[in-house]
Structures are given as C-alpha cells and as structure tokens.
Amino acid sequence: MARKRSVPITQRDTPTANSLAGRKKLGKSHKSTQSTISLFHTLLKRKAQAQKALSNACSSSQASALQAQLGAVETEIEEQGGLDTYQRASTLGQSSERGGDSSVVLIEWLKEMNEAMTREDGAGSRSIRMLEIGALSPNNLAAKQPYITNTPIDLNSQHPDILAQDFLQRPLPKDDSERFDIVSCSLVLNFVPEPRDRGQMLKLIHQQLHHSERSFLFLVLPTACTENSRYMTSEHLETILGVVGFAQVRRRARPGGKVIYTLWKWQKPNANPQAVQSSSRRAELRSGTKRNNFVVLLK
Ligand SMILES: C[S@@+](CC[C@H](N)C(=O)[O-])C[C@H]1O[C@@H](n2cnc3c(N)ncnc32)[C@H](O)[C@@H]1O
C-alpha cells in the first residue's frame, strides 16, 4: 500500500483552507486562535511553494497556470484578513500559551549569567544592543530593561516603533557600531517556508552579532520542530548551529510544553567536513508515519 503523504509541520491539525474561507473575525477562544494561526501557516506555505514553482516554470503556459495559482492563494490570504489577522492571532496565542512574551525567559537567563547589565567598551559604558526579529509588540520585557536597547523588526509591522523589514534583506553591519549583542528569533525560523532560507537566516544572524562569546542568539521553536521531525533532532540542530557558529548555553523544554527556548553564544563556525556535509543534506533521523518534515538546510 502506498505510504500516506505526511503533512508538513506548519499544516498539522489544520482545517482545510476552504472550511475556514470567509472567516475574517478572530474568535477569542484558544481553539479559534490556533485554527487561524494554522490556516495562515498553510496559506503562506502554499504561497511560497507557488512562488518557487513559478520561478522555475519552463513554459509560458506553465507560468500562467502557476501565476493563477499564486493569485488564488494571495486572494485567500487577503480574504482571511491578511497578515494582520495572523499576527493578532499570534499575539493572542502568545499570551494564552506562554503566559507572556518569550523575552521573560531571555531576561531570566541574562540575570543567571550575570549579563543583565550595560557593557563596558573603549568608549565607556553602553547598553546591550538587541535585534528582535518578528516583533509583535515594541513593549516586551526585554525592551523595558534599562540596560537593553532593542531594535524590533517584522515583515509586517503592527506598530510605528517596529521597523517593517524582511530580516533576510537587512543590510549587514558595516562595523562594530552597527553590530548587536543579542538577536532574538522567537517562533520566526519555523515561519520561514524554505529550509535553505532558514539556514540563511541563521547565517545572517551570526553576521549581525559582535564577534564575541558574549554575543547571543535567543532561539525559540515549536517543540514539534525538533522533537517530532523526521529530519531534525535537538542534536542535529546543535550540529547545524555549530557550523553556523553558535554553541548552546541554555535550553528549556518543559514536559508537554509547546515551545522550546534556547540560548546560543557566538563562536567561530565549525568547519568539520562531516558536520558541514550533514548540515546541508536532508537525512531521515527518525522513522514513523506521524512525523513532520521540519528541517533547516545550510547551503
Ligand atoms: C509567530 S510570530 C512570532 C512573534 C513573536 N516573536 C513570538 O515569539 O510570539 C512570527 C512573526 O515573524 C515575522 N517574520 C517572519 N519572517 C520574517 C522575516 N524574514 N523578517 C522579519 N519578520 C519575519 C512574521 O511577520 C510574524 O510577525
């Protein structure tokens, strides 16, 4: 019997797009918030797939069919309220599921590591420079700390103090004055549809940071990304991040928790050929039919 095609992580437990078509208002219940988030993940993934197929189209008839497909997905995203609705759902999901924003964990860890303070450099004392990718609010706990200067960015900014920017297109720092001490990437990597773009996001984060072991990546991922993926385990994520140039210093995974919090310190990239090779290939690390396909690939 043919093996049933597994459903990508971003589409799990997802009602079909049609079953939710026409619903624009956000319900307040947890279930309704989750359905909205799942639906947008499905639609954004379909949009990325259509865009990719369109860029590889080999005939004009194929291109026009794909263009129509892409247009239909874009219309559906708009009909569902666009990215604004998705982000409002994420904000509600954030408060109901995690009892607040992720940066609460980051601040706790900075305190534990005696890093919750201003830094001294040649010019004297300066605040910690943080870049927050995928910011829903400019007022999270990290942004409120007097020793942190936060730069929040988002693809679809919901607030005048959040810079509307695709991190993948953000210019690289010209010198240390433009480099950050912390990059926060909470529930964003899993939002990026293409595995190689996820790898690129991690590499660009490395390049945005000061070249110092006191520079950190705060990475939050849905538990299923590393604990139930066919192609990704926590150990494999450590290998990939080692190749990018990070070593894990903190990890919090609560039993039954929906997300895993991790903190990584900047280091020189691991050039071990075996690690480099395994980070650029998709290999089955867990068997079973009920797995998702989440993976990060380095180029
Ligand atoms: C699920 S929300 C997570 C928000 C918040 N950080 C949290 O932990 O709840 C993902 C956010 O990442 C943003 N995002 C996704 N890809 C991005 C990119 N390439 N550059 C900037 N923001 C991005 C989306 O617009 C969305 O607001």
For 103-279, which CATH class?
A: alpha beta
Ligand 1 centroid to residue 90 C-alpha, Å: 9
Nearest to 220 by CA among 193, 181, 190: 190
Closest atom of ligand 1 relative to the 135 alpha carbon? 6
Cβ of 132 below 6 Å from ligand 1: no
Tokens matching residue 151: 């730069």
> Any alpha helices (H) in the chain, and if so which ranges?
17-20, 30-55, 60-79, 82-98, 103-112, 141-144, 195-208, 223-227, 234-244, 273-279
What is the average per-residue pLDDT within 246-261?
95
The lowest-confidence range among 69-73, 234-238, 254-258 is 69-73
Q: Which atom of ligand 1 is nearest to the CA of 98?
A: 9
113: Cβ contacts below 8 Å, ≥ 6 apart: 249, 250
**Mean of the pLDDT values across residues 210-228?**
97
pLDDT bracket for residue 22 (50, 70, 90)? very low
Tell me, in angstroms, the distance from the centre of ligand 1 to residue 1's CA. 40
pLDDT tens digits, one per residue of 121-149: 878 899 999 999 999 999 999 999 999 99
Q: Is 48 helix (H, G, I), strand (E, B) or coil?
A: helix
By most ligand atoms within 8 Å of CB, the mutation choice from 105, 188, 190, 194 for ligand 1 is 188
* Alpha-carbon span 182 to 178, nearest angstrom: 12
Mean per-residue pLDDT over the chain, rounded: 86
Question: Which burial class, exposed, middle or buried, applies to 61 when counting CB atoms under 10 A from its CB (0-12, 13-18, 19+)?
Answer: exposed
Q: In the predicted model, is pLDDT for residue 197 greater than 90?
A: yes
Q: Tokens at residue 213, please? A: 């072991």
Distance (angstroms) between ligand 1 centre and the Cα of 37 equals: 12
Across 234-255, b (16+ Cβ under 10 Å) vs e yields: eebbbbbbbbbbbebebeeeee
What angle do helix axes 60-79 and 30-55 make, rounded to 10 degrees?
Answer: 160
Query: Residue with structure tokens 């990597």?
Result: 189
Q: Which residues pair with residue 218 across a beta bridge?
A: 184, 263
187 lines ligand 1 (CB under 6 A): yes
Which residues are registered as beta bridge partners of 133?
Answer: 153, 185
CA distances from 285 to 71, 167, 230 (A): 36, 30, 6
User: How many Å apart are CA 244 and CA 279, to the nearest integer?
Assistant: 9
Q: Is 155 in the pocket of ligand 1 (CB under 6 A)?
A: yes
Ligand 1 atom closest to Cα of residue 191:
15
- Cα separation, 205 vs 45, in Å, equals 23
For ligand 1, is residue 9 a contact (CB within 6 Å)? no
Residue extents of the structural domains in the chain: 9-98, 103-279
- The pLDDT score that the predictor gives to residue 88 is 67
pLDDT by residue (tens digit) across 5-21? 443 344 333 333 333 33
Q: Which residue is closest in CA terms to ligand 1's atom 15?
A: 188
68 sits in which H/E element: helix 60-79
Nearest to 39 by CA among 50, 24, 51, 52: 24
